[in-house]
Chain A
Amino acid sequence: MRWEETVVEEATADKEDTSAPETVVQSSVPQPKDDFQEELVIRPLHSGDIYASFQFRTLWETDFMRGNKVSHYRLFPKSLGQVISKFSVRELHISFTQGYWRTMQWGQPFLPSPPGAELWVWFQDSVTDVDGTWKELTNVLSGIFCASLNFIDSTNTVQPSASFKPLGIGNVTDHRFLRYATLPREIVCTENLTPWKKLLPCGSKAGLAVLLKSEKLFHSSFHSQAVHIRPVCQDWQCKTTSWELRQTLNVVFDLHTPGQGKLEWSLFKMFSRTLTEACPLASSSKIYIDITDDPQGEQFEVSPATHLLSQAMVLGDRRTFSVYDLTQQITFGTVRSLNLLIRWKSSEDMLRPLLHAERYVAGYGLQTGEIHTLMYNNHPYRSFPVLLLDSVPWYLRLYIHTLTVTSKGKDNKPSYIHYQPSKDRVRPHLLEMLVQLPPNSVTEVTVQFERALLKWTEYTPDPNHGFYVGSSVISSLVPSIVAMDTNSTREQPLFSSFFPCKEESSYFMRVYTEPLLVNLPTPDFSMPYNVICLTCTVVAVGYGSLYNLLTRSFQIEEPSPGLAKRIANIIRKMRGVPPL
């Protein structure tokens, strides 16, 4: 029964693709109930590295607003479906990242994420105990993704007031229902990849997912995997709604070779696999190769060549892609296997991305310090506002009166500041600011802090490694070079359609800074026994008795004589005789 349905689906999908030309069309054909699309974008980067981004989208048409229990699952993973309904989740975004995205070398990623784990969730407004639900949810997700999300507690959770708006439909914007947490120390590896792959309808058996071999994915410069769940409209009138599960995996491979010749890379070299088929359950399965930087075909060579080209508006830029449709047998050729080969040249200059940011700790010593956040606006003549979100653990005590924002040597007063002070051992600092970045400038945000002395049980097992402070988040509407496509219901490649776009002249962008590693004053834990013994001895014996000696005066005192003796002495004194 199930299998038949999917075959029919595939057939219709095939028909659609073959009948329609590559230019996008309004989707007027009634969609099947569930839908799965997969996509791989490969972009040879400026620096000579290569960026591969996988996107898998599962749509699940169900009426989530009523909150009725659903027990039938087809393509949508049951484990996540149950989580959504049990915890009344409206939106869930979780990412696991190993490494830091190098904006200066690589440009902007399709989907940004901070190093470590990041989780942000919008709950339905029917939830009464948001904190309790959040705690349970993190524990459940921790099990599902095999990650230490259970370390998320009130000391690293914040409720941003402006930076994280819902990305799907729904009009709840009361930030009481939002929770945001990062774990900058989380290390991402195979054990997180396996459960992530299991959420796919085809698993890693067929389709693009066969390329996801951990020995290659974790032999890279950057690895990030994410899961985004949100409610979306099925059509432009939003008559029917559905859950969208987007699984993305971004990886950057290091292609450094000392020589200056052309770089060469192929699917097999990257993933040690070639493609032989699309996932049978997928309605669309495509590979896009970004060839924008090479209009004349001088720098790039792609083989096998394809005549299918597609244009898409990505991150404020119009890009051209070669498209390989895996649902068509002709793509695989006579050898029945697709091994894309790319050759290109690289340059070593740094990029000047429109918006990028960096952060560091200034000062020395273990008492105080200063956090510097630098935000670069490289646009030649447009200024634009950015929202800066900083969540700092309580053990760095921010002196908020020292907060300064300067651009071009002048004070730059933020138009909006939301600051929630920390409470020791309970909650972190939350600082949100809306800052206008002047054109072609660097804006520096500095704030001083004092390092707290922790209780001795609060130190981690490796206290001398330092303590992490999560990335700050910079969200902004950046002026775009080309008119952005605001029609969200049009058929677009998945990678270009994640952040909803409301304006034609700008696009949404999020930038994460690097996390910080801060040393706190640390006692010498290596010989606690000796230290405790010695200190106690010194205090007890040395100080105690010295203090005793200094404050008391010692005199020899005769025991007082009896009454008879005293009388006898008085008499003897009167007689002038020495007393007894």
Chain B
Amino acid sequence: MGLLSDPNRRRALISLLTRLNAPICVVCYMAGVAWFMGLAFEPFTLRTYMSENAMGSTMVEERFPAGERALGTGREFSAHKKKAGGMPVDWLVKTMQSRGLEVFTQRFSRRLPFPDEDKERYMVKGTNVYGILRAPRAPRTEALVLSAPCSPGDDNNQAVGVLLGLAQYFRNQVFWAKDIIFLVNEHDLIGMQAWLEGYHHTNTTGMDWSPLQGRGGSIQAALSLELSSDVVTSLDLVLEGLNGQLPNLDLANLFYAFCQKIGVLCTTQGKLQRNDWDSVSGYSHAVQTMMLMVMKQASGRPWGDHGLFLRYHIEAATIKGINSFRQYKTDATTIGRLLEGMYRKLNNLLERLHQSYFFYLMPSLSHFVSIGYYMPAFGLLALILLLRMSSPGVLSVLTPLVISHLTGVALYTLPIHFQEIAVEHFPVSETEAVVLTAIAVYTAGLALPHNTHRLLTGRGTENGWKVLKLVAVLYLAVLLGCTALINFSLGFILALTLVPVAAFVTPDVPKALSAFIMVILSPACTLLFSVFLFQELQEMPVSFLDGWMLYLSVISQGILDHALYGSLVYPLVALLVYPCWLLFWNILFWK
């Protein structure tokens, strides 16, 4: 600190920083991106390891025998599902009861703010059925959940079959210390949301549900099973939950440990792990896996039925059976044994899962990047914002600030409220109306706020833009910092695009070119590129037109996620990120 308290050196340091400001910023940006790309390089990552002692050394012996019978039950379920044209409630209740469970049902209904065209639903009505296996001599204080969705069509029948098979098998075991809840939820996430809200008696999203009759105390962990074929080649682990929350890493470790033990191929993001990390293709494979995780996390959506558990501090993951053209197949008995092993270990838990990481990225299932490693990448980007703060006076910036935020509020509220008017006047469906209104408000915002200061203060003050820029840069730094703490991926992606804008925009740069760059780097275009990149990473590239349609549906899904499950990404973008970007847009057109 002597360096800074000595006035001469301090002056020297400051002059160095001002003189080399631009190069330092460029170096920081490059270093940030390079650091991020380096995270996927295997020697820089850590191997996963089980932190929780209660699940560690004591290996259990899995004996689940009845895979074939479970598949038979699944087929029976599918027949009854077809007959009932939805959830076969009576059949499920009877089947669960005959397996010795306490069975309860929950009805729910929800009117979506606008029709969901992807899943073709508007008025949703359904019933959840769940059975509780009461652990002997347990006082109903702790529970574990195993869920399988009742999906339309032929999906997930096998998952329900395996769930019922496991229920039957678990019922005859004596070692349970926690109640186990077997849940079959209708209308995937909406049903799950209704069940969780009913269980915890909260109502965050205005859903109608009937109160639950039976409970098992505080839920310690949950797994959701998705299985649509009799045999699978691999099991995929989905971790990303609502608002980018992740379950404790020990849950992933547990899954990985059992896959290794039983000999099942396991993937994350649908990508097998490879051993050739030192080759270019091996490295790019790891980058791909990690980038997919980053994109999914940044989207803030729940990527499986487990995603909604995380809000309630319940560690949860989805296990998806994947059937591809590989030779090596795994049957239902093996999947049952895997789940049995995992539940027996979870049953051993003395405390909630808390020993391992909650903030991590996974370049492969056996390696992870912890928060301590990935944060510097973001820190390097955020540093640029601090370096670009130039000094100067205040208050004249109030008008642009207020107007930008009002535009944000309009973007947040108008699309849903104006859908009816839009549908009347234009030949579009409700969903399109909502999305197009959102895009229209977004674009209109570009025209609105610049030059406002002139209208109100009479003339554009010469130094006014500097104050505005100071405020905007600080604003962005705080905003990104907070976002990255909670949801690193979203924070990082936003930083990647917004930081260059924030760093270099002044009224003096060439207008047309800068305006073009700014639009390219605006949040909406970031989303568009993300959609294409995501498809590319999943090895399913799309044409521009398909991409555009996908882009529209992503926006509508984002708004729906906010209304249905309380996802915060849409309000974050509309109310904070977009107004902040508008401030920079304002600076560009200051004169």
Interface residues, chain A, with chain B CB atoms under 8 Å away: 98-100, 102, 104-105, 115-116, 184, 218-223, 254, 256, 258, 260, 348, 350, 358, 360-366, 370, 372, 462-466, 468, 514-519, 522, 524, 526, 545, 548-549, 552, 554-556
- Determine whether the beta carbon of B7 is less than 8 Å from that of A556: yes
- Determine whether the beta carbon of B354 is less than 8 Å from that of A364: no
**List of A residues within 8 angstroms of B481 by Cβ:** none
A260's nearest neighbour on chain B, judged by CB, is: B98
Q: Known contacts A219-B174, A466-B218, A554-B7; decide if A364 and B202 are in contact (CB<8 Å).
A: yes
In the assembled complex, B301 has its CB within 8 A of some CB on chain A: no
In the assembled complex, B111 has its CB within 8 A of some CB on chain A: no
- A-B contacts, 14 of them at CB < 8 A, read A99-B136, A99-B137, A221-B137, A360-B215, A360-B217, A364-B202, A462-B350, A468-B141, A515-B141, A517-B142, A517-B217, A518-B218, A526-B355, A555-B7
- Determine whether the beta carbon of B217 is less than 8 Å from that of A514: yes
**List of A residues within 8 angstroms of B99 by Cβ:** 258
How far apart are the CA atoms of A526 and B98 in the complex, in Å?
44
**List of A residues within 8 angstroms of B202 by Cβ:** 362-364
**List of A residues within 8 angstroms of B345 by Cβ:** none
In the assembled complex, B1 has its CB within 8 A of some CB on chain A: yes
How far apart are the CA atoms of A548 and B5 in the complex, in Å?
9
State how many angstroms separate the Cβ of B106 from the closest Cβ of chain A: 14
- Determine whether the beta carbon of A364 is less than 8 Å from that of B350: no
State how many angstroms separate the Cβ of B201 from the closest Cβ of chain A: 3
Q: Known contacts A364-B311, A364-B312; decide if A221 and B352 are in contact (CB<8 Å).
A: no
State how many angstroms separate the Cβ of A147 from the closest Cβ of chain B: 16
Q: Known contacts A358-B215, A517-B218; decide if A104 and B102 are in contact (CB<8 Å).
A: yes
Most B CB atoms within 10 A — which of A105, A260, A360, A548?
A360
What 4 A-B pairs are tightest by C-beta distance, nearest first?
A115-B139, A362-B201, A464-B351, A99-B137
**List of A residues within 8 angstroms of B174 by Cβ:** 219
B179's nearest neighbour on chain A, judged by CB, is: A100
- Select A464's contact among B138, B172, B352, beta carbons within 8 Å: B352
**List of B residues within 8 angstroms of A358 by Cβ:** 215
State how many angstroms separate the Cβ of B97 from the closest Cβ of chain A: 4
10 additional A-B pairs beyond A258-B98, A552-B5, beta carbons within 8 Å, are A102-B102, A105-B102, A184-B139, A222-B137, A258-B100, A348-B98, A468-B141, A514-B140, A516-B141, A526-B355
In the assembled complex, B4 has its CB within 8 A of some CB on chain A: yes
**List of B residues within 8 angstroms of A105 by Cβ:** 102
Proximity bits, B513-543, A CB within 8 Å = 1, else 0: 0000000000000000000000000000000
State how many angstroms separate the Cβ of A217 from the closest Cβ of chain B: 10
- Select A519's contact among B4, B218, B350, beta carbons within 8 Å: B218
Q: Known contacts A363-B202, A556-B7; decide if A99 and B138 are in contact (CB<8 Å).
A: yes
State how many angstroms separate the Cβ of A62 from the closest Cβ of chain B: 38
- Determine whether the beta carbon of B200 is less than 8 Å from that of A362: yes
How far apart are the CA atoms of A13 and B175 in the complex, in Å?
45
How far apart are the CA atoms of A166 and B352 in the complex, in Å?
41
- Select B10's contact among A184, A219, A516, A554, beta carbons within 8 Å: A554
In the assembled complex, B147 has its CB within 8 A of some CB on chain A: no
- Determine whether the beta carbon of A221 is less than 8 Å from that of B201: no
Most A CB atoms within 10 A — which of B139, B200, B355?
B139
- Select A514's contact among B4, B141, B351, beta carbons within 8 Å: B141
State how many angstroms separate the Cβ of B28 from the closest Cβ of chain A: 20
Most B CB atoms within 10 A — which of A100, A116, A258, A365?
A100
**List of B residues within 8 angstroms of A515 by Cβ:** 139-141
- Determine whether the beta carbon of A465 is less than 8 Å from that of B352: yes
**List of A residues within 8 angstroms of B172 by Cβ:** 256, 258
Q: Interface on chain A toward B: helix, strand, loop, or mixed SS?
A: loop
**List of A residues within 8 angstroms of B6 by Cβ:** 554
How far apart are the CA atoms of A102 and B215 in the complex, in Å?
12
How far apart are the CA atoms of A71 and B241 in the complex, in Å?
70
In the assembled complex, B168 has its CB within 8 A of some CB on chain A: yes
State how many angstroms separate the Cβ of A126 from the closest Cβ of chain B: 38
How far apart are the CA atoms of A370 and B202 in the complex, in Å?
10
Most A CB atoms within 10 A — which of B1, B5, B136, B137?
B137
**List of B residues within 8 angstroms of A465 by Cβ:** 350-352
Contact residues, B105-162 vs A (CB, 8 A): 134, 136-142
How far apart are the CA atoms of A548 and B141 in the complex, in Å?
52
Interface residues, chain B, with chain A CB atoms under 8 Å away: 1, 4-7, 10, 97-100, 102, 134, 136-142, 168, 171-172, 174, 200-202, 215, 217-218, 311-313, 350-352, 354-355
State how many angstroms separate the Cβ of A469 from the closest Cβ of chain B: 10
- Determine whether the beta carbon of B138 is less than 8 Å from that of A100: yes
**List of B residues within 8 angstroms of A102 by Cβ:** 102, 134
- Select A258's contact among B10, B168, B200, beta carbons within 8 Å: B168
- Select B97's contact among A348, A462, A524, beta carbons within 8 Å: A348
How far apart are the CA atoms of A518 and B312 in the complex, in Å?
13
B137's nearest neighbour on chain A, judged by CB, is: A99
How far apart are the CA atoms of A524 and B10 in the complex, in Å?
39
**List of A residues within 8 angstroms of B217 by Cβ:** 360, 514, 516-517
How far apart are the CA atoms of A519 and B354 in the complex, in Å?
12
B4's nearest neighbour on chain A, judged by CB, is: A549
- Determine whether the beta carbon of B4 is less than 8 Å from that of A99: no
**List of A residues within 8 angstroms of B311 by Cβ:** 364
**List of A residues within 8 angstroms of B350 by Cβ:** 462, 465
**List of B residues within 8 angstroms of A464 by Cβ:** 351-352, 354
How far apart are the CA atoms of A258 and B95 in the complex, in Å?
11
- Determine whether the beta carbon of B136 is less than 8 Å from that of A254: yes
How far apart are the CA atoms of A358 and B51 in the complex, in Å?
36
How far apart are the CA atoms of A516 and B202 in the complex, in Å?
17
How far apart are the CA atoms of A464 and B351 in the complex, in Å?
5
- Select B139's contact among A116, A372, A522, A545, beta carbons within 8 Å: A116
Q: Known contacts A372-B201, A462-B350; decide if A221 and B134 are in contact (CB<8 Å).
A: yes
- Determine whether the beta carbon of A519 is less than 8 Å from that of B201: no
**List of B residues within 8 angstroms of A516 by Cβ:** 141, 217
How far apart are the CA atoms of A267 and B18 in the complex, in Å?
91
**List of B residues within 8 angstroms of A519 by Cβ:** 218, 313, 352
State how many angstroms separate the Cβ of A234 from the closest Cβ of chain B: 38
- Select A100's contact among B98, B139, B218, B312, beta carbons within 8 Å: B139
Q: Known contacts A465-B350, A526-B355; decide if A364 and B200 are in contact (CB<8 Å).
A: yes
- Determine whether the beta carbon of A370 is less than 8 Å from that of B201: yes
Q: Known contacts A220-B136, A256-B172; decide if A363 and B351 are in contact (CB<8 Å).
A: no
**List of B residues within 8 angstroms of A549 by Cβ:** 1, 4-5
**List of A residues within 8 angstroms of B312 by Cβ:** 364
Most A CB atoms within 10 A — which of B98, B141, B215?
B141
How far apart are the CA atoms of A545 and B7 in the complex, in Å?
15
Q: Known contacts A256-B100, A256-B171, A519-B218; decide if A221 and B4 are in contact (CB<8 Å).
A: no
**List of B residues within 8 angstroms of A524 by Cβ:** 354
- Determine whether the beta carbon of B137 is less than 8 Å from that of A514: no
Q: Known contacts A348-B98, A514-B140, A519-B218; decide if A462 and B201 are in contact (CB<8 Å).
A: no
State how many angstroms separate the Cβ of B57 from the closest Cβ of chain A: 18
**List of B residues within 8 angstroms of A463 by Cβ:** 351
A48's nearest neighbour on chain B, judged by CB, is: B100
A365's nearest neighbour on chain B, judged by CB, is: B313
How far apart are the CA atoms of A462 and B53 in the complex, in Å?
13
**List of A residues within 8 angstroms of B168 by Cβ:** 258
**List of B residues within 8 angstroms of A548 by Cβ:** 1, 5
How far apart are the CA atoms of A223 and B139 in the complex, in Å?
11
B201's nearest neighbour on chain A, judged by CB, is: A362
**List of B residues within 8 angstroms of A366 by Cβ:** 313
State how many angstroms separate the Cβ of B14 from the closest Cβ of chain A: 12
- Determine whether the beta carbon of B313 is less than 8 Å from that of A364: yes
How far apart are the CA atoms of A186 and B321 in the complex, in Å?
42
A522's nearest neighbour on chain B, judged by CB, is: B354
**List of A residues within 8 angstroms of B134 by Cβ:** 102, 221
**List of A residues within 8 angstroms of B137 by Cβ:** 98-99, 218, 220-223
A513's nearest neighbour on chain B, judged by CB, is: B140
**List of A residues within 8 angstroms of B97 by Cβ:** 348
How far apart are the CA atoms of A555 and B141 in the complex, in Å?
66
